[in-house]
Chains A and B, each alone.
Chain A
Amino acid sequence: MILVIDVSNTNTVMGVFDGEALVANWRLSTLSSRTSDETGILIRSLFRHSDISVLEIEAVMVSSVVPNVMYSLTNGIRKYLKREAIIVRSGMKTGINLRMENPKEMGTDRIVNLVAAYEIYGGPAMIIDYSTATTYDVVDENGEFVTGITAPGLQVCAEALYQRAANLPKFEIVAPESIITKNTVESMQAGLVLSHIGETVYMIQCIREELGFPTLKVIATGGLAKIIDEKEEIFDVYDPVLALHGLRLIYEKNKNRRQGERKCF
């Protein structure tokens, strides 16, 4: 079994794979103040609660876009799981050709999603990840990265609105029943949700038309994706654990290479 960890700006998602089967997954807050002892104990407790022995974990694969939690995370894994975490970084085999000016500046969460989408669903595909940021990444039928767009996420936009506008209150992010609003909270709920639906619909349309991908598959992930497409008209696939599968696939692609490296010693 392997443990995969996807560290994002707001949440950290962990999953345990037995072969290709995801047997457990958990979601934690990403906290830079969490120590390695706290992290290690928390992971062990979650394992025990799901009746998984840490001894069965042969490898730990991590993707992170938050540099300042990495010391505590890797050290906690070292101390309590007795494993050296493998970190997704440039130079690893991914099966995706990242034709960017500087591939190192691309968030590894996006690379992990691209790998999973391309391997599982095939290209041309657009992966939309609704997280702290909403990312739109396009991969073609040959596994080549075509373009990637980063927009502020729903939660971030909602917070910006009530933090920066003096008279606007906090509100829950839900789709409105009607476009006819009767008070400020409904105005903000309708505005936020409809604006993000509009952003998504227009991005998909621009990519399909401007890049000539009429058969582009749209694969969504991230907790807030359901709010965007309640009627299931926009996305072809909704895969809430896409990144976890991507981490598993990258581990498998690089497993033999790492073993080979070790024999050199």
Chain B
Amino acid sequence: MLLVIDVGNTNYVLGVYHGEKLVKCWRMATGSNKTADETGIFLYNLFDASGFDVKRIEAVIISSVVPDIMYSLTQGIRKYFHIEPMIVSAGIKTGIVIKRDNPKAVGADRIVNMVAVNEIYGGPAVVIDYGTANTFDVINEKSEFITGLITPGISICAEALYQRAAQIPKIEIKKPKSIVVKNTVGSIQAGLVIGHIGQTKYIIQQLREQLGLPNMKVVATGGLARMIDPNKEIFDILDPVLTLKGLKILYHKNI
């Protein structure tokens, strides 16, 4: 079985693949102050609690955008799983042509997402990942990465707002029933959620028009994607485990 790990700025997600099938999936907070032993024993116990024998894991692949935690994570896996993890980094075979000033600067999570979209759904497509940052990455039908946009994620925007504005309270992120709001909490909820819907629609429209890709597919992933498009009008595909699928594909391309 293959263990895939996607380390994001806020959370990291682990998945276990048995062949093509995702048999288990966990989500953890990304804490940069954990040691290799703490990380390793935690993962070991996680398997134990789910009734998985750690010995059945044959390989591990990791994609990370948080350099700080990589030592503890890889060392913990070596010590407790006795496996040398494969890391998504420059030089790995992806099947994507990355036309950038510095291809190494593209976050590994974005590469993994594009690999998944390219292999599973095919280009031209934009993959939108709603995370700490929202990323909009476009690949064409020739598997070329054409352009990518990065916008601040909905939860970091909400936090920044109450940290920086004296009279603005903490709020729960949810869509208000109406655009007519009569109190501060509703006002901020409308601003965040309707603002993000508008952002998504506008960026998709601009990409379609300016890149001349009217038939571009829209593939979304990330925890908050469902809130952006509850009526399934914006996204063609909502795939919550896109990144895990991409990691599995990348592993098989590189063994």
Q: Is the Cβ of B160 less than 8 Å from the Cβ of A211?
A: no
Q: Among the listed stretches A112-120, A144-152, A214-222, A237-245, which one makes contact with chain B, having 4 or more residues with CB under 8 Å of it?
A: A144-152
Q: Find A68's partner among B149, B157, B166, B202 (CB 8 Å cutoff).
A: B166
Please tell me if A46 contacts chain B, counting CB pairs below 8 Å: no
Q: Among the listed stretches B12-20, B75-83, B186-194, B214-222, which one makes contact with chain A, having 4 or more residues with CB under 8 Å of it?
A: B186-194
CB distance from A109 to the nearest CB of B (A): 10
Please tell me if A192 contacts chain B, counting CB pairs below 8 Å: yes
Please tell me if B150 contacts chain A, counting CB pairs below 8 Å: yes
Query: Which B92-113 residues have C-beta < 8 A from chain A?
Result: 99-102, 105-107
Within 8 Å CB of B120, what residues of A?
none
Q: Among the listed stretches A36-44, A53-61, A89-97, A200-208, which one makes contact with chain B, having 4 or more residues with CB under 8 Å of it?
A: A200-208
Within 8 Å CB of B72, what residues of A?
none
Within 8 Å CB of A35, what residues of B?
none
Q: Among the listed stretches A15-23, A78-86, A128-136, A257-265, which one makes contact with chain B, having 4 or more residues with CB under 8 Å of it?
A: A128-136
Please tell me if B184 contacts chain A, counting CB pairs below 8 Å: yes
Interface string of B187-208 (1 = CB under 8 A from A): 1101110111111111100110
Q: Is the Cβ of B202 less than 8 Å from the Cβ of A201?
A: yes
Please tell me if A107 contacts chain B, counting CB pairs below 8 Å: yes
Query: Which A132-181 residues have C-beta < 8 A from chain B?
Result: 132-134, 136, 146-152, 156-161, 164-168, 178-181
Query: Which B151-202 residues have C-beta < 8 A from chain A?
Result: 151-152, 156-161, 164-168, 178-184, 187-188, 190-192, 194-202
Please tell me if A232 contacts chain B, counting CB pairs below 8 Å: no
Within 8 Å CB of B230, what residues of A?
none
Please tell me if B240 contacts chain A, counting CB pairs below 8 Å: no
The answer for the CA separation of A43 and B18 in the assembled complex, in Å, is 71
Given A168-B150, A179-B207, A183-B100, A150 contacting B182 (CB threshold 8 A): no
Given A9-B165, A149-B190, A191-B149, A203 contacting B181 (CB threshold 8 A): no
Please tell me if A231 contacts chain B, counting CB pairs below 8 Å: no
Within 8 Å CB of A207, what residues of B?
179
Please tell me if B85 contacts chain A, counting CB pairs below 8 Å: no
Within 8 Å CB of B136, what residues of A?
191
Q: Is the Cβ of B9 less than 8 Å from the Cβ of A164?
A: yes
Please tell me if A101 contacts chain B, counting CB pairs below 8 Å: yes
Given A159-B160, A160-B157, A192-B152, A101 contacting B203 (CB threshold 8 A): no
Please tell me if A88 contacts chain B, counting CB pairs below 8 Å: no
Given A134-B191, A165-B9, A166-B9, A148 contacting B181 (CB threshold 8 A): yes
Please tell me if A31 contacts chain B, counting CB pairs below 8 Å: no
Q: Is the Cβ of A161 less than 8 Å from the Cβ of B147?
A: no
CB distance from B84 to the nearest CB of A (A): 24
Please tell me if A187 contacts chain B, counting CB pairs below 8 Å: yes
The answer for the CA separation of A165 and B152 in the assembled complex, in Å, is 9
Please tell me if A99 contacts chain B, counting CB pairs below 8 Å: yes
16 contacts between A and B (CB under 8 A): A105-B183, A132-B164, A133-B168, A147-B180, A149-B195, A150-B168, A151-B157, A152-B157, A152-B160, A157-B152, A167-B67, A167-B107, A179-B210, A181-B148, A191-B134, A199-B198
A interface residues, Cβ below 8 angstroms from B: 9-10, 65-68, 99-102, 105-107, 132-134, 136, 146-152, 156-161, 164-168, 178-184, 187-188, 190-192, 194-203, 206-207, 210-211
